[in-house]
Amino acid sequence: MTAAELDAIHLTLVLAGTTTVILMLLGTPLAWWLARRSGNLPALVEALVAMPLILPPTVLGFYLLLLLAPDSAMGALWQQLTGQRLAFSFSALVIGSVIYSLPFVVQPLQAAFARVPASLLQAAATLGATPLDQFRSVVVPLCRRSFLVAACLGFAHTVGEFGVILMIGGNIPGETRVVSVALYDYVESLQFAEAHRLAGILVVFSLALLFLLYRSNSHPRMGEAR
């Protein structure tokens, strides 16, 4: 394996890891809010969260590119604060990935939170637990598996990202050139042997992750809740 390929794999893992951490931090309160509220606003937010599931990644990438460009408000502000360009940077990839993989984290969490009986939270409240304490000591343990599912799906989906990255990240080695983009390069220059190697790595990685995830499914915890 070449140094460039190892670079691409390393970058992909860092991007997916960073994105997953941010997604878990943002997605958990968002999913909790969506699971406990109903009305027009939550429905609209839920629809927005689900948009990356159906939009072509190029559409999302296109708007993100406009948003992050140096002449946009956000791009200019970023440049002022950091002295760096935002578009075609690693940071841009993280922003794009967070939006692109959001539904894969929020939806399993939201479904799990909705299954936690409100009656158990009432019981915890009468026993002296504040809402945050109720979440930590009742909801989190009951939804432990869904947190695992959400993190794995968020991670795997970010690894498999291509369209958004190409639109807002380009193909800068060590900065934005992730495995899927490197693979595209190989195919475009007809280096099929190298392409096979990268494609094979992605297939094995994805299969292994999903296999481990579904195998751990044999002990559902929520089924015990009443």
Partner 1 sequence: MSALTLDLRCPGADGFVLAVSEQLSLAGITAVFGASGSGKTTLLECIAGLRRAAPGSRIAFDGERWLDDHHHLPPWQRDIGYVFQDARLFPHLNVQNNLLFGQRRKRTTGSPTLEAVCDWLGLHALLHRAPDTLSAGQRQRVSMGRALLAGPRLLLLDEPLANLDGDSRRQCLAALRHAIAASCIPALYVSHDAEEVSHLADRLLILDAGRVAEHGAMLELSSRIDSALARDEQAAAIVRCTLAAHDSQFGLSELHCEGNRLWVNHLPGAVGTQHRLRIPARDVSLCRERPEGTSILNILPVQLDAIEPGDAPRLLVRLRVGEQHLLARITRKSAAILQLKAGDRLFAQIKSTALLTETAEPA
Residues at the site binding partner 1, with contacts judged by CB under 8 A: 119-120, 122-130, 133, 137-138, 141-142, 221, 224-226
User: What burial letters (b/e) apply to 114-141, b meaning 16+ CB within 10 Å?
Assistant: eebeeeebeebeeeebeeeebbeebbee
- Min dist CB 220 to partner 1, Å, is 12
Burial of 209 (0-12, 13-18, 19+ CB in 10 A): middle
Q: Which is nearer to partner 1, 41 or 133 (CB)?
A: 133
Q: Which is nearer to partner 1, 143 or 182 (CB)?
A: 143
- Min dist CB 123 to partner 1, Å, is 4
Tokens of residue 143, six digits: 């939804």
Say if CB 161 and CB 97 are below 8 A apart.
yes
Helix (H, G, I), strand (E, B) or coil at 128: coil
Q: Can you tell me the distance from the alpha carbon of 219 to that of 216, in angstroms, rounded to the nearest whole number? A: 7
Q: Which is nearer to partner 1, 125 or 201 (CB)?
A: 125
Q: Which is nearer to partner 1, 39 or 223 (CB)?
A: 223
Q: Which is nearer to partner 1, 137 or 216 (CB)?
A: 137
- Min dist CB 140 to partner 1, Å, is 10
Picking from 29, 163, 208, the residue whose alpha carbon sits closest to that of residue 105 is 29
- Min dist CB 147 to partner 1, Å, is 13
- Min dist CB 117 to partner 1, Å, is 8
